[in-house]
Chains A and B, each alone.
Chain A
């Protein structure tokens, strides 16, 4: 098995669903965060936070995926990724582990998937007990174009 067809993913759960984020794109995993609200921002933007002197824009992935707001008030975690040199924190429920998956096992998005999900999903992995939706960060952060056009 050659190296390049194995991908490493950080698994996260949002509303019970497992998602995978390419590990190389993940810069940080944050526990408690102190969010500053940004009025008038698109609803997907949860706020901004200070990560060691850098201002990180926080994205509520639930909103982005059209999921209801989280009911339990427990601590939320976030994964910091970088896009075009700008850091973004993705607000998720919990962080799992890092797993290796063979690229060839990636399956196409089922046609029945919600368009909002299909938009951000690069494909699905079948793991032993779960289905893993691979998130495409660029696509996930791509709501801004629409937002600014609407504004």
Chain B
């Protein structure tokens, strides 16, 4: 019974049917399915299928975006129930788009995937100064910083973040991950960041490893 509704949530999420997902999540809660199960076996199961398909080029950005939106809407409904159940985060990550860049759709996707893996995410939004990233990581005790940039003219700021971490003497305590359309593994090596991931699903997998 509950399996069927969780599958239904997963399938509708994959199709990006946010409205139906919300209805189904509410229905599952009403039927007494645990918030944790709805999250893991409904929403996240669907999202991870989309994430895998995206990695394998079977689906493209639009599907991921609509699925992520459905996931987000469903998760909002679950949040109070999850908190009440005392579900613990498996790690803490700070994320943001670098200074000079206002694009945050890709960053939000990664954020959602990270949350999907049970990580606590501190989202600094877009146009974030290098120092803010580092200071937040120190203050909030985060092990991982995720940097996003969409413009070739702003990706250089990622290097400033790495340098700032060195300057503030915390480089060895932090993992700096980078992503975004113009960024590459070569660029990552050049600026001395820790890792480049090509898509949101891989980013989440790597972040989980770093938090262990």
A and B part of one assembly: no
